[in-house]
């Protein structure tokens, strides 16, 4: 009897424990707030009323409402001064320069840049019971590349992997940029309303009514950058109407929120296309500002924010919803004559406030953005925080909110700090001591307290035009951002110890693989180019290039100067298609071999001509890429380039790398530093009559040129 009573008591205790556990889990789920991240596009620090915009020029009552009812941050930083890298960081908690994207942005046809296995905001929150959606500009790619240089996203088929494969339940987007060549929306895994194409059997894509939100074709004037050679995709689907894009995206976001339930948390990643070019305010906002079309475009963004806040009120969600409003990078200023930004600037609008620079640059105007947080009952209304935060911190912060510990820093959320203490109050100590920012040209800078040190070294593949335009960013410099927020005085020579400290920190965080903890010091090994096997065959050309070579060599374009046992070419005019050094040859099968050293130029192309110059092809080499392409033959349009092979490289400037191109019949085999590529084409079987060494940009050296026949 006693045993039975004991068993019954233990059973009841077990039941009570299970019920308590379930109640605890249910309570925890109920306490999870809804989360909305609004990531505006190219929206500068001074573009909202709560950040000092002149109300006579622009009025942002909805954005200002977030400041009034929540907390305004004065020192929030993007990770990049362009969009794709920042968007990657927002979702993954990792600096994008740790990936293959070292400069610029992803293309319209780039593969998905976030690995499906990588922890991110969507997968974290979905794992905690959240319904998740990504609505707005995506610009993080779709699909998996097979390594072929001709691979690109096929918008006529299934766009997978994509957002639904990294944790989002619903996706509706502008694929890349407002005004991109797709001219379509994407819903979940397919182009929105796709009527025909590579649609798998059994998949039915809902029909889309052709309302005023859509048009049958996308036109050159709809593009962000309409230029010769740009081809709009041929897709059988409804096309975007530019001045209806914001209303459509906002409507989709509002509809999705309307479908949510009060007892089930949701996460919305909403990414409006405003205030990115092209500037296309809707009829509801056109002419409403004192700053011209650009001011109207800001009003369009504010109207969108207001509609999201309204639906939260209408559904009774506002009290349990954390809303974050920010931007992917600083705004575009009015350097371009006649642009909407120039009109706004002349009217007196300070898009980026008093900060130096703009989108693309390494200056504060490229990174410092509005950052507003509203969470009723948790965040003090009308409060201000001067805490230095980064958009990369959102993943660690979400992790803290839902009580889900992050994996080790070396595995995920490598650069993300929990800024919840700064959202809820005033931390006694700074949450993060440093933050790293990165420009479109690949220049790194590191902030620590009042100091900002700019390394000043661009990515090796930066083109000559950008190098010239941003030359003031391409040298090391130090600024005291508290005393000199406009970065007007370089104080590097006054504080050499600070420079050394900042330089060491940047290197340690960059090489260490993560920064939310101090990584171990990585001892860099010296880099030695991988040699080639001995050249086989009879050498018919052997030129060291220690001096300017005699005829039949000829410097066709650019400036060619001997040095470092080689000959260095420099492009002297943007009008020229590269500096060119030419030499006639007579070769069918065999090999061309030489050494190459990058000293500032972004790429080299060895253009090989066939007899009679009927055909040509090229071997393309940069510090990051290696490729084989067939050029247009006589009578073919300039766009008729065939990219036949490609591979990623990691070459270091200043070093001499041997490269060899071998020919046999219709096959070409090229190799450099242990990497090789191969391609076949009938043109390769033609007799080769000339080699053209082309240099694009500042300087590339060549030496020890040899041609051998079997």
The pLDDT assigned to 524 comes to: 79
pLDDT tens by residue, 122-156: 999 999 999 999 999 999 999 999 888 789 999 99
Q: Is the pLDDT of residue 18 over 60?
A: no
Kindly tell me the burial class for residue 259, based on how many C-beta atoms sit within 10 Å of its own C-beta (0-12, 13-18, 19 or more): exposed
Question: Does the pLDDT value for residue 413 go beyond 60?
Answer: yes
Specify whether the CB–CB gap between 693 and 684 falls below 8 A.
no
Candidates 457, 432, 460; CA nearest to 507 is 457
The per-residue DSSP string of 231-294 comes to -----SSPEE-GGGHHHHHHHHHHHHHHT--TTS-EEEEEE--TTSSS----TTTTT-SSSHHH
Closest CA to 246 of 312, 302, 188: 302
DSSP H helices, 141-204, are none
Whether the predicted pLDDT of 535 surpasses 60: yes
How far, rounded to the nearest angstrom, does the alpha carbon of residue 53 sit from its chain's CA centroid? 28
Phi-psi bin for 532: left (phi > 0), alpha (psi -120 to 50), beta? Answer: beta
Choice between 446 and 522, residue whose per-residue pLDDT is larger: 446
Predicted confidence (pLDDT) per residue in 620-671, tens digit: 999 989 999 999 998 898 888 999 999 989 899 999 999 999 999 999 999 9
User: For 446-502, what is each residue's pLDDT tens digit?
Assistant: 999 999 999 999 987 777 677 778 889 999 999 999 999 999 999 999 999 999 999
Mean predicted lDDT score pLDDT of the chain: 93
Contact 173, 135 (CB under 8 A): yes
- How much of the chain is in helix, strand and coil states, percent to nearest 5? 25, 25, 50
**Please, what sign has the CA dihedral across residues 73, 77, 78, 82?**
positive
Looking at the DSSP bridge assignments, the partners of residue 135 are 172, 270
Q: C-alpha dihedral over 357, 361, 365, 367, to 10 degrees?
A: -170
Name the helix (H) or strand (E) containing 13. helix 2-31
Predicted local confidence at residue 664, as pLDDT: 97
pLDDT of residue 648: 87
**Which has the minimum average pLDDT: 15-24, 476-485, 561-570?**
15-24
Helix then strand count (H, E) for the chain reads 11, 31
- Residue 147 has what pLDDT? 80
User: Which range (3-17, 139-153, 574-588) has the least confidence?
Assistant: 3-17
Inform me whether the pLDDT recorded for 556 exceeds 50: yes
Residue 448, pLDDT score: 97
Identify which has the larger pLDDT, 578 or 552: 552
| pLDDT at residue 19 tops 90 | no
Give per-residue pLDDT as tens, 321-364.
999 999 999 999 988 899 999 999 999 999 999 999 999 999 99
**Residue 612: DSSP 8-state:** G
pLDDT of residue 78 exceeding 50:
yes
Q: What is the pLDDT of residues 288-320, one digit of tens each?
A: 999 999 999 999 999 999 999 999 999 999 999
Q: What is the arithmetic mean of pLDDT over 184-212?
A: 96
Q: CA 264 → CA 26, 27, 261, 267, distances in Å?
A: 10, 12, 5, 10
User: 625 vs 186, which has greater pLDDT?
Assistant: 186
Query: How far apart (Å, rounded) are the C-alpha atoms in residues 108 and 541?
Result: 44
Confidence of residue 229 (pLDDT cuts 50, 70, 90): low
Question: Which residues of 471-621 form beta strands (DSSP E)?
Answer: 477-480, 538-543, 554-557, 559-563, 566-570, 579-587, 590-598, 601-610, 616-621
- Report pLDDT for 50: 98
- Name which of 449, 399, 391 is nearest 415 in CA terms: 391
Quick check: 299 and 58 in contact, CB under 8 A?
yes
**What angle do the packed helices 83-92 and 394-402 form, to 10 degrees?**
20
pLDDT at position 22 = 36
The predicted model scores a pTM of: 0.89
Please state the separation of Cα 330 from the chain's center in Å: 14
pLDDT band at 690 (very low <50, low <70, confident <90, very high): very high
């Amino acid at each position: 009897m006693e045993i039975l009573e004991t068993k019954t008591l233990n059973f009841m205790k077990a039941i009570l424990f299970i019920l308590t556990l379930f109640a605890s889990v249910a309570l925890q789920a109920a306490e999870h707030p809804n989360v909305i991240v609004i990531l505006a596009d190219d929206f500068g620090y001074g573009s909202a009323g709560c950040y000092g915009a002149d109300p006579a020029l622009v009025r942002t009552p909805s954005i200002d409402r977030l400041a009034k009812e929540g907390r305004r941050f004065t020192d929030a930083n993007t990770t990049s001064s362009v969009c794709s890298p920042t968007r990657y960081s927002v979702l993954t908690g990792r600096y994008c320069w740790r990936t293959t994207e070292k400069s610029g942005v992803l293309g319209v046809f780039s593969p998905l840049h976030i690995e499906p296995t990588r922890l991110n905001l969507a997968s974290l929150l979905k794992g905690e019971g959240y319904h998740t959606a990504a609505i707005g500009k995506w610009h993080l790619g779709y699909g998996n590349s097979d390594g072929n240089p001709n691979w690109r996203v096929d918008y006529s088929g299934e766009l997978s992997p994509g957002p639904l494969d990294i944790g989002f339940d619903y996706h509706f987007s502008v694929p890349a940029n407002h005004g991109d060549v797709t001219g379509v929306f994407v819903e979940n895994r397919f182009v929105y309303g796709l009527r025909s194409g590579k649609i798998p059997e059994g998949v039915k894509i809902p029909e889309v009514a052709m309302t005023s939100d859509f048009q049958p074709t996308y036109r050159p004037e709809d593009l962000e950058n309409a230029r010769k050679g740009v081809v709009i995709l041929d897709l059988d689907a409804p096309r975007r109407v530019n001045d209806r894009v914001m209303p459509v995206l906002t409507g989709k976001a509002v509809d999705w929120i309307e479908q949510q339930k009060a007892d089930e948390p949701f996460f919305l990643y909403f990414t409006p296309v405003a205030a990115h070019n092209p500037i296309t305010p809707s009829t509801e906002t056109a002419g409403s500002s004192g700053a011209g079309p650009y001011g109207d475009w800001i009003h369009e963004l504010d109207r969108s924010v207001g509609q999201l806040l309204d639906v939260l009120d209408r559904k009774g969600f506002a009290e349990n919803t954390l809303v974050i409003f920010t931007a992917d990078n600083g705004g575009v200023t009015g350097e371009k004559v006649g642009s909407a930004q120039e009109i706004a600037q002349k009217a007196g609008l300070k898009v980026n406030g008093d900060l130096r620079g703009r989108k693309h640059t390494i200056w504060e105007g490229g990174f410092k953005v509005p950052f507003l947080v509203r969470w009723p009952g948790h965040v003090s209304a009308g409060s201000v925080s001067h805490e230095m935060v980064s958009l990369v911190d959102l993943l660690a912060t979400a992790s803290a909110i839902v009580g889900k510990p992050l994996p080790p820093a070396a595995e995920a959320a490598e650069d993300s700090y929990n800024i919840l203490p700064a959202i809820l109050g005033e931390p006694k100590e700074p949450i993060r001591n440093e933050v790293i920012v990165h420009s479109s040209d690949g220049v790194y800078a590191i902030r620590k307290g009042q100091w900002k040190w700019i390394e000043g070294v661009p990515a090796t593949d930066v083109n000559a035009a950008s190098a010239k335009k941003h030359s003031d960013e391409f040298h090391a410099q130090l600024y005291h951002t508290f005393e000199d927020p406009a970065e007007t005085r370089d104080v590097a020579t006054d504080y050499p110890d600070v420079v050394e400290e900042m330089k060491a920190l940047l290197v340690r965080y960059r090489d260490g693989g993560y920064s939310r903890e101090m990584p171990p010091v990585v001892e860099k090994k010296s880099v030695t180019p991988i040699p080639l096997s001995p050249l086989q065959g009879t050498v018919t050309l052997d030129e060291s290039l220690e001096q300017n070579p005699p005829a039949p060599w000829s410097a066709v374009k650019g400036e060619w100067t001997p040095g470092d046992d080689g000959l260095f070419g420099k492009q002297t005019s943007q009008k020229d298609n590269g500096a060119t050094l030419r030499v006639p040859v007579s070769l069918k099968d065999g090999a061309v071999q030489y050494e190459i050293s990058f000293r500032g130029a972004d790429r080299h192309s060895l253009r090989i001509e066939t007899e009679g110059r009927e055909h040509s092809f090229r071997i393309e080499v940069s510090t990051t890429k290696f490729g084989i392409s067939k050029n247009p033959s006589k009578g073919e349009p300039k766009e008729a380039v065939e990219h036949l092979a490609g591979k990623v490289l990691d070459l270091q400037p200043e070093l001499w790398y041997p490269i060899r191109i071998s020919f046999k019949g219709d096959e070409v085999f090229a190799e450099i530093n242990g990497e090789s590529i191969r391609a076949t084409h009938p043109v390769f079987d033609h007799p080769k009559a000339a080699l053209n060494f082309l240099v694009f940009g500042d300087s590339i050296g060549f030496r020890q040129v040899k041609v051998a026949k079997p």
